[in-house]
Structure 1
Amino acid sequence: MNHGHPAPLLELRHVSVMEGLSGRPLVQDVSFSLQRGHCLGIVGESGSGKSLLCRALLGLLPSGLVRSGQLHFEGRDLGSLDPAGWRKLRGTGMAVILQQAMTAFDPLRPLGKQLEGTLRDRGRMSAARAREAVCEALQRVDLPETVLSSYPHQLSGGMLQRCMIALTLALRPALVVADEPTTALDACHQQQVLRCLADVARDASLI
């Protein structure tokens, strides 16, 4: 019985990540729960497995690594999801902000087409609404609309990081998994992005 307490948005029970062939553990026995509208920070030294855990949460582990333990999102057991199920979940139910912004976008397509295309696909928006949502999100992270016509190599790592964050804001997912999202940003934009992420958590708590 939950005695009136809401079910966690995300719950991990004894989650580990290991090498598939050798069985060598890389992340060991992680358990926690996260309520909707709340934030959780994971702290550890470089190489301790923080990024691997983030990828495990999203079904994005590199080939050769396996996850064990139980992972529940909105009460749903994610252990049985196939690749198509993970793709459907990512972007709307869950979204990720990765450290390496340079590798997050297709280098051969303008950013506008990529951002708007993701919103039309994942957010099920019309072309006009997707354009509007992207422009609103870019404004929130202090980027001009001119970035929409730019290719990834024409922008700095910090600007690409903010593009990735803008896309997350526009998608309005229930859960944002952020792997050091402010690493490439200056102090001013770090504070701005943290405020935006706090807004995402607040909005999610109202769903």
Structure 2
Amino acid sequence: MMLFCMIAVLSSNSIEAQASENVQARAQKECIKPWQAQLKGDLRKLWIDHMIWTRNYIVSAVAELEDQEQVLARLLKNQQDIGNSMKPYYGEEAGNKLGELLIEHIMIAGKIVDAAKGGNQAELEEFNKQWVRNSDDIAQFLSSINPNWTEKELKKLLYRHLQLIADELTARIGKDWNAEIAAYDMGEAHIVMFADVLAEGIIKQFPKPLK
């Protein structure tokens, strides 16, 4: 099978200094199969969309724009798409379960936006607790279907995701546009890392492409 490889260019002196089997071992380590590259790219796209449509919803909801309902519908579709991406590996029920947890994640986020916009601190604290609990549920569920995803690691990644979204929302409400942009950029980089963790876990669990 053809492989996509990223092999460093070696000088003639380096080539002479290394045994041929070491060069081959290095090349083997740095190769990624086409289906693995496709999986990683697909998951990155889905989770970057998660960030994009979450931001679009924050913008629309804070400003009470006319497209708020349509943007929310598109954001919720993304959660279903992420759940569906897991179905080839973990089955219909597991994919639907993840989709449901992610939809809950968004619905709680919507309540957080409303509470923050209205300055209701008591509601904001309560919804934040629900958001953390939902993240715990997502981490527990994912770790239960793939031992390569540890619950501890996933919780850490998801909590960071929540914080960056909260930072973005706070900056938007406060009209601190530079801070909002910085929070989004950090959030996007973080979600790519999260998507890669998921992809790498699947690749370890399923080292051969599904038929």
TM bin (shorter chain): 0.3 to 0.5
Provide TM-score, normalisation by structure 1: 0.36
Give the structure with the higher percent helix.
2
TM-score, normalised by the number of residues in structure 2: 0.36
Larger Rg: 2
Report the structure, 1 or 2, having the larger strand content. Answer: 1
